[in-house]
Amino acid sequence: DAGVIQSPRHEVTEMGQEVTLRCKPISGHDYLFWYRQTMMRGLELLIYFNNNVPIDDSGMPEDRFSAKMPNASFSTLKIQPSEPRDSAVYFCASSLGQGLAKNIQYFGAGTRLSVL
């Protein structure tokens, strides 16, 4: 398997524009996670899915952020409208299940978002 695949790797956009980040998890993984990483706040868990269903979105900063998982092999994180403070690296990760042995999360390479 190629691992968790994210696109684009880099995104530069202007304030107010809609941004869509994409993620393809490892085949067979039941859990998918979206994280945000900044210098100031480090890594933050935004939302996670289990079998395509959002389980906990308590980490989503505000209504401008939304995430979907229409099927087991694809998820999107959308920001509308984007703001400069949304500039960060966004990571997607997936894992097999809840058991400890399956608890390892595999991260994608991330999308570096810059909102001007």
Partner 1 sequence: KNQVEQSPQSLIILEGKNCTLQCNYTVSPFSNLRWYKQDTGRGPVSLTIMTFSENTKSNGRYTATLDADTKQSSLHITASQLSDSASYICVVSGGRGYSSASKIIFGSGTRLSIRP
List interacting residues with partner 1 (CB under 8 A): 4, 31, 42-48, 50, 55-59, 91, 93, 98, 100, 103-110
Return the number of the residue (81 or 106) whose C-beta is nearest partner 1: 106
- Work out whether strand 88-95 and strand 10-13 pair parallel, antiparallel, or are unpaired: unpaired
CB of 33 to partner 1, least distance (A): 8
CB of 16 to partner 1, least distance (A): 28
Return the number of the residue (45 or 72) whose C-beta is nearest partner 1: 45
CB of 22 to partner 1, least distance (A): 15
Distance of alpha carbon 109 from alpha carbon 3, whole angstroms: 9
CB of 108 to partner 1, least distance (A): 6
Return the number of the residue (38 or 80) whose C-beta is nearest partner 1: 38
Distance of alpha carbon 82 from alpha carbon 100, whole angstroms: 37
Return the number of the residue (65 or 91) whose C-beta is nearest partner 1: 91
From residue 55, how far is each of 47, 88, 99 by CA, in Å?
Answer: 8, 23, 17
